[in-house]
Amino acid sequence: MKYTIIDTGYFYADGGAMFGPIPKTAWRRRYPSSKSNICVLATRTLLIETDDGRVLLIDNGAGTKQPDALRHYCFFDCVDLEEELLKRGIRLEAVTDVILTHLHFDHCGYTTRRVEGSDKIIPTFPNATHWVSQKQWDNCLHPTPLEEDSYFTENIQPVADAGLLRLIDEETAIHPSVRLKLYDGHTPGQIVPYIQMDEETLVFVGDVIPIAASLSPKWISAYDTHPLTSYYEKVRLLDEAVRERQTIIFCHDAYTPMCRVKKTGRFYTKCNG
């Protein structure tokens, strides 16, 4: 088993939105921002190559299909994921599994691509099984007003049309070393993949805990549709991470890609050991 973290790009987000009710006087010590409260966030992908030949890709950034709709986020330093994979000897056709934590645009944009010189949109990974939760799929097709701007169905519908979509409604092992668990809060039915390496367990926490500063269970983004659920889901995830000494990979933290977690009293913080 081998893993590689790839940052597919960066974008600007409002710090107030990232930290919800927490005042800037508190969060500015935990995440860098400009005078106008702008924070740099990453869009991070995790590539897993298993000993038995599977190639798994977890999330894949915003892609390039909606430049006008996403211009306010000012995406920068975006990589071509196809080139990044080729540098590692992996063709798009060789990817066996695409795991999407959820279907918000900044996590699944590269799942489909426009055929050059046409309006046709096709799956980027033509041979991959694409794993999404049933709850998240239903939510994407029928979003509440709060989430309707977060979804572009062109990012996933061509995958469903091609028969490549696999929906799960409970914890599922998709490989002896990879389990997909489900979490609610930020949006219904987020997949959190647990990858068992030789000496550690990697947990790609997605938007359950987008950046290291959100390790504090009450530091919940204003984008979360069910904040109280987010609180309890974070505690559930973090208690296991502390107990099992798991390594957390953050999808959006531009400065801390991964860490272990310790608990002191009621507080969860980064630890290096």
**At its nearest, how many Å lie between Zn ion and the CB of residue 117?**
32
Q: Considering only 76-84, 96-104, 156-164, 254-262, which stretch makes contact with Zn ion by CB under 5 A?
A: 96-104
Residue positions counted in the chain: 273
State the minimum distance, in angstroms, from the CB of residue 1 to Zn ion: 27
Say whether residue 234 binds Zn ion (CB under 5 A). Answer: no
Q: How many residues interact with Zn ion (rule CB under 5 A)?
A: 2
Q: For 112-121, b where at least 16 C-beta lie within 10 A, e where not — what string?
A: bbeeeeeeeb
* Rounded least distance, CB 100 to Zn ion, Å: 11
Among 184, 207, 233, 253, binds Zn ion (CB under 5 A): 207
R_g of the chain, CA atoms, integer Å: 18
Can residue 224 be called a binding residue for Zn ion (CB under 5 A)?
no
Contacts for 43 with CB less than 8 Å, ≥ 6 apart: 7, 8, 9, 10, 11, 59, 61, 62, 106, 107, 251, 252
Q: Which residues have a Cβ under 8 Å from the Cβ of 131 and sit 6 or more positions away? A: 97, 98, 99, 100, 166, 168, 172, 174, 180, 191
Closer residue to Zn ion (CB): 104 or 135: 104
Q: Select 17 or 86, whichever has its Cβ closest to Zn ion.
A: 17
Q: Which is nearer to Zn ion, 55 or 98 (CB)?
A: 98
The span of 29-37, 61-69, 121-129, 202-210 binding Zn ion (CB under 5 A) equals 202-210
Q: Which residue is nearest to Zn ion (CB)?
A: 104
Closer residue to Zn ion, CB minimum distance, 207 or 233 = 207
The stretch among 3-11, 28-36, 46-54, 201-209 that binds Zn ion (CB under 5 A) is: 201-209
Least CB distance to Zn ion at residue 177 (A) = 26
If DSSP codes are grouped into helix, strand and coil, which group holds residue 135? helix
How many Cβ atoms from other residues are within 10 Å of residue 92's Cβ?
17
- Please count the other Cβ atoms lying within 10 Å of the Cβ belonging to residue 153: 13
Is the CB of 54 or the CB of 102 nearer to Zn ion? 102
Tokens found for residue 117:
């010189």
The only residue of 45, 97, 98, 104 in contact with Zn ion, by rule CB under 5 A: 104
Verify binding: residue 44, Zn ion, rule CB under 5 A.
no
Q: Which two tokens stand for residue 220?
A: 């919940």
Which CB sits closer to Zn ion, 18 or 128?
18
Which strands sit side by side in the sheet containing 97-99, from one edge to the other?
2-14, 38-49, 55-58, 97-99, 129-133, 165-168
Q: What is the closest distance, in whole angstroms, from the C-beta atom of residue 146 to Zn ion in the complex?
A: 12
Q: Dmax of the chain from CA atoms?
A: 58
Tokens of 99: 């795991």
| Residues found near Zn ion in the complex (CB under 5 A) | 104, 207
